[in-house]
Amino acid sequence: MGNDGIASHRPVSQSLFERATQLFPGGVNSPVRAFKSVGGTPVFLHSGSGAYVQDVDGNRYLDFVGSWGPLIFGHADPDVVAAIVAAASSGTSFGASTAREIDLAERIRLAVPSIDRMRFVSSGTEATMSALRLARGFTGRPKFIKIDGGYHGHADALLASAGSGILTLGIPGSAGVTPGAVADTIVVPFNDLEAMEAAFEAPENKGQIAAIIVEPIPGNMGLVLPRPAYLPKLRSLCDLHGALLIFDEVITGFRVARGGAQELFGARPDLTCLGKVVGGGLPLGVYGGRSEVMAAVAPEGGVYQAGTLSGNPVAVAAGIATLKKLDEAAYRMLEMLGGMLEDGVARVIRRSGVPARIQRIGSAFTIFFTDIEVKDLASAKQADVARYGRFFNAMLDRGFYLPPAQLEAAFISLAHTPEDVESFVVAAKEIFPKL
């Protein structure tokens, strides 16, 4: 892998981190990059090609982060890079409509039938924030339900965590988020239909809930799978109570299947939020859904949302190049690689006796250091964070780059090979007995 197994052989990263701490809070521009939950100095990456990244010290790593999911063809895919270069040479930003926006939107609509019309934005946070505002504006209701541990970006109302009890109004999940900002946020556990029904039936919520917003397959408490009846039941509860169902498929859209989690589980949301893959690795988000709901967005309706960089021509070009290549053969290959990794890691876990499990769907997975099924945030929190930190650093020293946090999903790309996956399993086999 180009590494010698000694973590201290990253002196340039160490020097850059010391400089960065003078410029950025925690030395980083997004918290998980700080390696706080795994220990050690953050790796500063210099370049990426295919399934590999290289740091500023010249160490090469087999990458299972993939910019947190969008790089489904790996780093610097030639077709995506060519599309970016061609678009940029014609102008990087106009703040005006372009023909490419229509091309990408038609491709998205063809793949995700629940989306009649959509609006492009610049990030997943913008998409979820805008979809929630739209749901409130369309229904005329103030409250909404989110999942405890579900992450939908850093908008104030969505940074709520659960208080005591099985069902609760949200409490601020971050300093700077006021109680008023989350006063209309109801937080319930994932996979808990009893709590979801109770939220709708509570007297103070009757006729007040605009929407449920949910990651159909959560990826920010580690990868957690919905129970078979869960998502269809959310659909029926929303229909019964006149609320909208919002699927946050920023991670799962075009990743777990061409039509996302809603294709896999047969549940049709009113609104869908997309990101990651649809931007081909560049900043782009989408929210869209039923035509009559989208008609409430300005300039057709009274729900205001705007953005100078929305539908940025370079990001749109990268998205088109990516979606063009995502055919059925691509998903068959991703499933094969994912299954191979899952089977190999599961064997390693069984033979080592270490309390751990791998949870996977398609090309997304998490290795949890707990022997109980992870079905919600409470069970995810049972995972041994310190043991994951040891695993992470041992794998890093052997040339494998994983998410620097236990409760995050990892990703396989189409640039990975069966040999890459086997090398991952062999490294894990060496490490597990020492954890």
Do residue 379 and residue 255 come from a single domain? Answer: no
What are the two backbone dihedrals, phi and then psi, of residue 56, each rounded to the nearest 5 degrees? Answer: -70, -10
Rounded to the nearest 10 degrees, how much is the dihedral formed by the CA atoms of 332, 277, 396, 373?
-70
Lookup: tokens for 253: 């859209």
72-90: average pLDDT? 98
Q: What's the rounded mean pLDDT across residues 195-204?
A: 96
Q: Name which of 373, 375, 402 is nearest 388 in CA terms.
A: 402
Q: What percent of the chain has pLDDT over 90?
A: 91
Q: Crossing angle of helices 418-431/385-397, nearest 10°?
A: 120
- DSSP code of residue 291: H
Q: Report whether pLDDT(187) > 80.
A: yes
pLDDT category at 94 given cuts 50, 70, 90 is very high
Give me the pLDDT at residue 164, please: 43
6, part of any domain: no
431/435 Cα distance (integer angstroms):
7
Of all residues in the chain, what percent carry a pLDDT higher than 70?
96
Residue 146 — very low, low, confident or very high, per pLDDT cuts 50/70/90? very high
Residues 163 and 194 in one domain: yes
Q: How confident is the model at residue 168 (pLDDT cuts 50, 70, 90)?
A: low
Amino acid identity, residue 331?
Y
* Per-residue confidence (pLDDT) for residue 6, from 0 to 100: 47
Spatial neighbors of 231 by CB under 8 A, at least 6 apart, are 214, 216, 261, 262, 265, 266, 267
Q: Are residues 212 and 314 in the same domain?
A: yes
Rounded mean pLDDT of 72-85?
A: 98
Q: How far apart are CA 361 and CA 409, in angstroms?
A: 10
pLDDT score, position 362: 97
pLDDT at position 178 is: 87
Task: Specify if 1 maps to a domain.
Answer: no
Residues 49, 85, single domain; the answer is no
Q: What is the pLDDT of residue 251?
A: 97
Q: Is 318 found in the same domain as 332? A: no
Q: What is the mean pLDDT of the chain?
A: 95
Give me the mean pLDDT over the 33-58 stretch.
96
Are 156 and 44 found together in one domain?
no
**Mean pLDDT score, 267-294:** 97
**Active site residues per annotation:** 151, 248, 276
Say if residue 339 is in the same domain as residue 300: no
- Claim to verify: residue 427 and residue 313 sit in the same structural domain: no
Number of domains forming the structure of the chain:
2
Task: Render 45-109 in DSSP notation, one character per residue.
Answer: EEEEEBTEEEETTS-EEEES-GGGTT-TT-BT-HHHHHHHHHHHHT-S--SS--HHHHHHHHHHH
Backbone angles phi, psi at 147, to 5 degrees: -95, 135
In a domain, 4, yes or no: no
| pLDDT 10s digits, 216-229 | 999 999 999 999 99
Regarding whether 342 and 295 lie in a shared domain, the answer is no
Residue 188 backbone dihedrals phi, psi, to 5 degrees: -130, 155
In this predicted structure, what is the pLDDT of residue 209? 98
Q: What span, in angstroms and rounded, lies between the C-alpha atoms of 370 and 363?
A: 21
Question: Is residue 4 pLDDT above 60, yes or no?
Answer: no
Residue 204 and residue 57 share a domain = no
Mean pLDDT of 71-75: 98
Q: What confidence category does residue 165 fall into, taking pLDDT thresholds of 50, 70 and 90?
A: very low
Q: Is residue 121 one of the residues assigned to a domain?
A: yes
pLDDT of residue 166: 41
Q: Residue 1's pLDDT is what?
A: 43
Q: What is the pLDDT of residues 98-123, one digit of tens each?
A: 999 999 999 999 999 999 999 999 99
User: Is 300's pLDDT higher than 80?
Assistant: yes
Q: Is residue 246 part of a domain?
A: yes
- pLDDT at position 174 is 86
Task: From 291, 306, 325, give the residue that closes a domain.
Answer: 325
Domain that holds residue 175: 79-325
> What's the confidence (pLDDT) of residue 169?
57
Closest CA to 72 of 280, 362, 319: 280
**Mean predicted confidence (pLDDT) in 190-214:** 97
Domain stops at, among 325, 346, 379? 325
In this predicted structure, the answer to whether residue 7 has a pLDDT above a threshold of 70 is: no
Tell me how crowded residue 141 is: count the other CB atoms within 10 A of its CB. 20
Q: Does residue 272 sit in the same domain as residue 369?
A: no
- For residues 159-166, give the mean pLDDT: 62
What is the domain-level CATH number for residue 181?
A: 3.40.640.10
Same domain, 134 and 248: yes
What mean pLDDT is predicted for residues 377-405? Answer: 97
Q: What is the pLDDT of residue 170?
A: 67
* pLDDT category of residue 159 using cuts at 50, 70 and 90: confident
